[in-house]
Amino acid sequence: MCGVLHWKPGNAKSVWNVAFDLQTKEFFHVDSLADLPLHQVPLRRLADPSEFYRRLSPLTDASLTETADELFNRFTDYQVALVTLGDMSLNDVAPVFERINSTGTRLTIFDLMRAATWSTSFDLGDSVEKVRQAIAPKKFAGLDEKVFLRALSAAAGGSFNVESIDDLRKKDGDTLARAVQETEESAKRACDFLATEVGVPRYEALPYANQFAVLCEIYRIVGTPSSTQLGDIRRWFWRTTLAGYFGGWNTGQMTSDTTTIRAWGIGVYKSLDIGTVTSNEKIWRVKTFRANSATAKMVALMLSNAGPLDIISGQKIDPDKSLAWSNDKEFHHFFPQAYLKRSRKGTPHLVANIVLLTSTSNIHIRDSSPSVYLQEIIDADGRETLVARLATNLVSEAALEAALKDDYEGFLYERSITLQAEAMRLCGEPTTTAVATEPEEIQDENDDTTE
């Protein structure tokens, strides 16, 4: 309430124009400078003891007088720790705040920047909330605040890194307001791209949160991309996902990426060359399928793009429902968990063992062996129908043959080849691209930066 004590009369709409009711013992906001009833005390009076008590001198109710004394003492005796910091970077300031606030809520970089950039004409919190509200209907408002900070930093002429975010406090109000407006517009375009061009229906399905910050800068630069540029952006998305590029995104890469995007946007660079694909098909049969895994999210998006059909009923799978990650029954172990546990043939939770399936069909299959439930589908609808449905789940006929023999290793091998071929196609890379050694590890965690 220090701001109340230092508030000067003149602005009736000020957030600090607060009063205290001695009867109800409640604080309330005042939107007028007119005199209040005697039992309602404007807190600005507390700054001058003589004026405070002169105003209350007509009070005859002893209980009200006692409450007034308690109010005055609470504020005048309250000690506020004050630390004055000079022109220090966030890296230097943050540890100081953490030590002072060790028993309270941990401050984030967003909290620090909100305080550092605040003025009567600009509030970072309100600005980020404005961007969030603009994209809320597109289901991406739940992204972490730091993602929006990176986008704002780039829009203000900087980069995505912490040092550039720190420089926001040196920007004037007009520059910050302009950056917010541009970020709002580019964020809406980024959402549209993700939903329509690569099939990401909501923020939970995005492999790496920082992909959104980069997309904001891309769309801020190009506005409405040409068909060639759109193809570049699509390949950039799949390439950086497959390569796990944002799993270790460091300051040098952030600066380099900013330069590349801006040069590409004005035609200096002919392609958006960020992220190098060096994986081979083995990655799909060794990575675990988890909700926060970038690899799992990529295969889920690949399946969504393939227009998956339920392998039993043939009905279309709803990608938006599946990629909400709220119901894991939509993701089915092709070789059921219970079957693999019973037969001791291997680990069930591998990316290559996952297809999309309705919960009804999932329950129907339960713990059956693939040779049993797949043969039932063939008997009911024919082999060609099953092969066609499996193709929409990126399961080849060779993988089907292995599954009909309950050959788990053979199935994983054939499925991995199909998944890798589709991934390389989306990345715009030759399907033969691979390395002779073990594939690079994709970062599973979705907190996708080392900064």
pLDDT tens digits, residue range 146-158? 999 999 999 999 9
- Name the residue with higher pLDDT: 394 or 430: 394
The residue-averaged pLDDT of 135-151 equals 95
Q: What is the predicted pLDDT for the residue at 431?
A: 62
Q: Is the pLDDT of residue 180 over 80?
A: yes
Asked which of 4-18, 24-38, 393-407 is least confident by mean pLDDT, the reply is 4-18
Measure the CA–CA gap between 275 and 252, rounded to whole angstroms.
Answer: 13
Distance CA 253, CA 138 (A): 29
pLDDT of the residue at 46? 83
- Assess whether pLDDT exceeds 70 at residue 66: yes
Maximum Cα–Cα distance for the chain, whole Å?
Answer: 96
- Give yes or no for residue 445 having a pLDDT over 60: no
Q: Quick: pLDDT tens for 351-372.
A: 999 999 888 888 889 889 999 9
Res 371: pLDDT: 96
Residue 102 has pLDDT above 80, yes or no: no
pLDDT higher than threshold 90 for residue 139: yes
Q: What is the pLDDT of residue 441?
A: 45
Strand ranges, E, within 265-343: 331-333
Q: At residue 326, does pLDDT exceed 60? A: no
Domain segments of the chain as ranges = 2-76, 90-265, 283-427
For residue 274, the model assigns a pLDDT of 81
- Which two three-digit tokens encode residue 274? 């960020």
Q: Cα dihedral angle (212, 216, 218, 222), rounded to 10 degrees?
A: 150
Please give the average per-residue pLDDT across 13-36, as a whole number: 85
Give yes or no for a contact between 396 and 404, defined as CB atoms under 8 angstroms apart. Answer: no
What is d(CA 123, CA 103) in angstroms, rounded to the nearest whole number?
26
Query: What average pLDDT is seen over the chain?
Result: 86
In degrees, rounded to 5, the angle at the alpha carbon of residue 217 between the alpha carbons of residues 307 and 426 is 30
Instruction: Answer whether residue 8 shows pLDDT above 60.
Output: no
Read off the pLDDT of each residue in 375-392 and give the average, rounded to a whole number.
Answer: 97
Pairwise CA distance, residues 84 & 160, whole Å:
28
Helix axes 49-56, 62-76, angle to 10 degrees: 170
Lowest-pLDDT choice from 49-63, 90-104, 261-275, 383-397: 90-104
Helix axes 294-305 and 227-242, enclosed angle (nearest 10): 140
Q: Which residues pair with 444 in a beta bridge?
A: none
Helix, strand, or coil here: 435? coil
In the structure, what pLDDT confidence band is assigned to residue 185 with cuts at 50, 70 and 90?
Answer: very high
User: What's residue 439's pLDDT?
Assistant: 40
Q: How far apart are CA 255 and CA 240, in angstroms?
A: 16
More reliable by pLDDT, 345 or 104: 345
How high is the pLDDT of residue 206?
94
Instruction: Look at residue 75 and tell me whether its pLDDT is greater than 50.
Output: yes
Residue 161 is predicted with a pLDDT of 94
- Strands (DSSP E) along 153-235, which ranges? none
Is residue 97 over pLDDT 80? no
Q: Please name the helix (run of DSSP H) or strand (run of DSSP E) that holds residue 29, with its range, or none.
A: strand 26-29
pTM: 0.76
Reply yes or no on whether the pLDDT at 88 is more than 90: no
Predicted local confidence at residue 436, as pLDDT: 34
Proportion of the chain above pLDDT 70, given as a percent: 83
Look at residue 438 and tell me whether its pLDDT is greater than 60.
no
What is the structure's pLDDT at 1?
Answer: 47
Minimum mean pLDDT range among 141-155, 240-254, 292-306, 427-441: 427-441
Q: State mean pLDDT over 165-194.
A: 94
Least confident of 155-169, 201-215, 267-281, 347-361: 267-281
Report pLDDT for 164. Answer: 93
